[in-house]
């Protein structure tokens, strides 16, 4: 019933042979080298897409490849020839996201598909709260100052940001200069990341450990990765009035410029376009917890995304 020593030796040899045959094949496959015509290996690469929403459809060169779900919003495709691919991420009710990605041999090009809802509702913050009081046959309307309005209004006053305004006195002229948060001299800082605007241009800069630098500061040339500490994110059509990180996300910058408040990805994607958060007459914004407070003239609005 037991296997004879002879039979066991044969089985052992078969397993050893199997190991030596499979090991290089699996290693080549893991590296991205796939069997092509005849005995040639084709060096391939891959694309990794991180979608912000579940239910997003991922298209590569116009072909639907995957739909993300609740458990996995990531999509990884491998065995791609090293050329450029058009990636589009779509979800009903959200802006389409598009990028052209270059794939290199044995490397994975990683991207994040950031998409905002196509329609974002901005809720008015009224100056007064109305209360109707009945007295006999008459009804009185009592107007009470809305504390939320008062709070929103304060957020846009210089005094509200007093502790964040940088004051510099020139040693030569004695002139005192004040820099608001988000300017080159007084950038906004979060988790070793600086963000600022210079006229129409928005920049981000990495101040942390070079080994931990976020990937979007780097360009993967296939053989070499080149990283730069400062990255020009985007050049808007009008001067930037204010900017901040999009609800604490250091990969997205929220910018007020021209007649819009827009969100833009802090990365090098040449096809990226700002996504509109609010459109109106020279709007400005401030962040309050998980809300965006918009100021248009004397009106204040609240956006929750």
Partner 1 sequence: MDYKNSPYYRVGRATDLTGKDRLIYRLLEILPGTLAWGTIFGTILVSYYLPFWAAVFIIIFDLYWLLKTIYLSMYLRTNWKKMQHNMSVDWKKMLVNLKYDHVYHLVLLPFFNESEELVEKSIESLIVSEYDKDKMIVVLATEEKGGQYAANLAKKVEKKFGKKFGHFLVTKHPFGVLGEMPGKGSNIAYAAEEARRRILDRNKIKYEDVMVSAFDIDTVIYPQYFECLTWNFLTTEEPLKSSFQPVPFYNNNIWQAPALSRVVAVSGTFWQMIQQERPERLSTFSSHSVCFKTLFEIGYWQKNMVSEDSRIFWNAFMARNGDYKVVPMSYPISMDANQDMSLWHTIKSIYKQQRRWAWGVENMPYVLFGFIKNKSIPRYNKIRFTMVLLEGFWSWSTNPIMIFLLGWLPVVIGGMHFQGTVMSYNLPILTRDLMTLAMFGLVTSAAISLSFLPPRPDGMSWKHSAFMVVQWIFVPITVTIFGAIPSLDAQTRLMFGKYMGFWVTPKHRKK
Q: Which residues bind partner 1 (CB under 8 A)?
A: 1-3, 5, 8, 11-12, 15, 18-19, 22-23, 26-27, 29-32, 44-46, 48, 76, 78, 106-110, 211, 213, 215, 218, 220, 225
CB 9, min distance to partner 1, A = 11
| Least distance to partner 1, CB of residue 30, Å | 4
Helix (H) or strand (E) holding 36: none
Residue closer to partner 1 by CB (options 43, 241) is 43
Q: DSSP letter for 178, please.
A: E
Nearer to partner 1, 19 or 39 (CB): 19
Q: Nearest 5°: phi and psi at 147?
A: -60, -30
CB closer to partner 1, 15 vs 160: 15
Q: Count CB neighbours of 262 within 10 A.
A: 21
Those residues with Cβ within 8 angstroms of residue 265's Cβ, 6 or more apart along the chain or in another chain: 112, 114, 216, 233, 251, 252, 253, 272
Considering only CA atoms, which of 109, 253, 113 is closest in space to residue 188?
Answer: 253
**Between 2 and 170, whose beta carbon lies closer to partner 1?**
2
Minimum CB separation of residue 213 from partner 1 in Å reads 7
Q: Which residue has the tokens 């802006």?
A: 95
Q: How far is the CB of 268 from partner 1 (least distance, A)?
A: 14
Q: How far is the CB of 104 from partner 1 (least distance, A)?
A: 9
Q: Which is nearer to partner 1, 214 or 274 (CB)?
A: 214
As a whole number of angstroms, the longest Cα–Cα distance in the chain is 109
SS3 assignment, position 81:
coil
User: Distance between CA 79 and CA 42 in Å, rounded?
Assistant: 9
């Amino acid at each position: 019933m037991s296997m004879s020593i002879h039979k066991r030796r044969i089985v052992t040899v078969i397993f050893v042979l199997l190991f030596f045959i499979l090991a290089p094949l699996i290693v080549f496959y893991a590296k991205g080298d796939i069997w092509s015509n005849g005995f040639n290996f084709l060096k391939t690469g891959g694309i990794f897409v991180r979608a912000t929403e579940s239910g997003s459809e991922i298209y590569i060169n116009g072909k639907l490849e995957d739909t993300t779900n609740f458990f996995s919003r990531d999509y990884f495709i491998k065995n791609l020839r090293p050329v450029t691919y058009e990636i589009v991420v779509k979800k009903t009710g959200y802006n389409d996201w598009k990028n052209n990605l270059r794939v290199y041999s044995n490397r994975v090009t990683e991207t994040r598909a950031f998409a905002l809802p196509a329609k974002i509702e901005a809720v008015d913050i009224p100056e007064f709260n109305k209360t109707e009081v009945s007295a006999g046959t008459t009804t009185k309307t009592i107007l009470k100052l809305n504390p939320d309005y008062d709070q929103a209004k304060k957020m846009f006053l210089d005094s509200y940001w007093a502790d964040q305004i940088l004051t510099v006195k020139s040693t030569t002229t004695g002139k005192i200069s004040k820099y608001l948060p988000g300017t080159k001299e007084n950038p906004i800082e979060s988790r070793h990341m600086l963000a600022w605007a210079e006229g129409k241009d928005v920049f981000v800069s990495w101040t942390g450990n070079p080994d931990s630098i976020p990937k979007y500061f780097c360009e993967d040339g296939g053989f070499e990765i080149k990283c730069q500490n400062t990255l020009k994110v985007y050049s808007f059509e009008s001067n930037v009035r204010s900017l901040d990180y999009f609800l604490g996300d250091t990969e997205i910058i929220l910018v007020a410029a021209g007649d819009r408040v827009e969100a833009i990805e802090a990365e090098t994607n040449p096809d990226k376009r700002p996504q509109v958060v609010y459109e109106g007459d020279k709007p400005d914004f401030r962040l309050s917890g998980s809300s965006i407070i918009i100021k248009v003239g004397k009106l204040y609005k609240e956006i929750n995304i």
